[in-house]
Structure 1
Amino acid sequence: MSVRIGVYPGTFDPITRGHMDIIRRGAKLVDRLVIGVTTNPSKSPMFTIDERLAMVERETAGIEGEIHVVSFDSLLMDFAEREGAGMIVRGLRAVADFEYEYQMAGMNQQLNDRVETVFLMADVSLQPIASRLVKEIALYGGAIRKFVSPSVEADVVLRVSEIGRKGS
């Protein structure tokens, strides 16, 4: 019997309750879930790749199932192939996400039709959460406790204070 491997890619800057919902549910669909932490040239990260890897590893430590957290800096389909994945797991929050993800899934299928993309709808209570907005709220001194775990909240608050000290 072959091992079913799925890849859940993202920048996870920072990892949110929405990401965690998709990870928990995605882990039930496969024998091994590989969380691919990547850079995105169009985004300016608050945390380094190593910090994000450590954060994701810490946050996913208690989740049932085989979960591997690794970094990648390549085409997603090349990464999926390298990991032996037959599935890409993607979370959807809204119609705008669907349009983008649908286009990406089509392009990815053209690159490698042996890997399927599976979409999971985020829990309704978590749909508005986006890392970009969490960072923006934190930078303006707003509370982010509803959107991230207490340990991620502490990481973000510390980073915001460091950014503030550098700017002074």
Structure 2
Amino acid sequence: MDKKIALFPGSFDPFTNGHLNTVERASVLFDEVIVGVFTNTTKKSFFSADEKKQLIEESIEHLANVKVVIKSEDLTVNIAKELDAHFLIRGVRNNLDYEYEKNIASMNRQMDKEIDTVFLLADEEFSNVSSSMIKEIASFQGDVSKFVPEQVNQALLKRYSKKG
């Protein structure tokens, strides 16, 4: 294993400043970080996969060793193997996140012993930010600009102004 490649999978609907912080921190730890825009089968997507990819790319353009891919319909460990990533990055905001992520990490490890999950604790300022709360606030024309990158804020404003 020459190059340390990490995959940060998620639905990123929308991509938040907490996600961005996790990617920035991971970019210092790994040679390459791949943000994987995945389909969450339990959620209805607000932005399309292509829209999410574009918004994330605009948000991370200052990070030379980070790229974004769209993947769906496969297990995370299979996609990691396909991308030659031996590490999965997960942001953890609180105890509930930890318990949930710990179980997934354990299952992933049982499916592929070459995959390790690295937990990055959320910085305090991002520990209460979730994509679902962002969408809820934005749907009522609340200001979410301090919780999301500017490009995402503009996309939310545009999308919700069309719905109103």
* TM bin (shorter chain): over 0.9
Counterpart in 2 of 1:39? 39
The amino acid across from 1:129 in the alignment is V
- Alpha-carbon contact 2:94-2:127 (below 8 Å) kept: yes
| Aligned residue runs from structure 1 range 110-121, under 5 A | 110-121=110-121
**Could you tell me how far apart the structure 1 residues matched to 2:48 and 2:37 are?**
11
**Could you tell me how far apart the structure 2 residues matched to 1:16 and 1:93 are?**
13
- Alpha-carbon contact 2:87-2:116 (below 8 Å) kept: yes
- Alpha-carbon contact 1:46-1:159 (below 8 Å) kept: no
> What displacement does 1:36 show?
0.3
**Could you tell me how far apart the structure 2 residues matched to 1:39 and 1:55 are?**
16
> In percent, how many aligned pairs have the same letter?
35
> What displacement does 1:95 show?
0.5
> What displacement does 1:46 show?
1.0
- Over the aligned positions, Cα root-mean-square deviation in angstroms equals 1.0
**Could you tell me how far apart the structure 2 residues matched to 1:3 and 1:151 are?**
31
Find the residue that maps to 1:35 and give its secondary structure: strand
Size of the aligned set, in residue pairs, is: 163
**Could you tell me how far apart the structure 2 residues matched to 1:149 and 1:76 are?**
26
**Could you tell me how far apart the structure 2 residues matched to 1:7 and 1:141 are?**
33
Find the residue that maps to 1:91 and give its secondary structure: strand
Give structure 1 regions of 4+ aligned residues with deviation exceeding 3 angstroms. none
The amino acid across from 2:119 in the alignment is F
- Alpha-carbon contact 1:14-1:131 (below 8 Å) kept: yes
Counterpart in 2 of 1:154? 154
- Alpha-carbon contact 2:58-2:151 (below 8 Å) kept: no
| Aligned residue runs from structure 1 range 79-158, under 5 A | 79-158=79-158
**Could you tell me how far apart the structure 2 residues matched to 1:15 and 1:148 are?**
7
The amino acid across from 1:24 in the alignment is E
**Could you tell me how far apart the structure 2 residues matched to 1:154 and 1:98 are?**
31
Counterpart in 2 of 1:71? 70
- Alpha-carbon contact 2:11-2:40 (below 8 Å) kept: yes
Gaps of 5+ in 2: none
Counterpart in 1 of 2:18? 18
> What displacement does 1:99 show?
0.7
**Could you tell me how far apart the structure 2 residues matched to 1:159 and 1:119 are?**
32
Per-residue Cα deviation, 1:3-60 (whole angstroms, up to 9, x for no partner)? 1100001111111000000000011111110110011111111100000010111100
The amino acid across from 1:98 in the alignment is Y
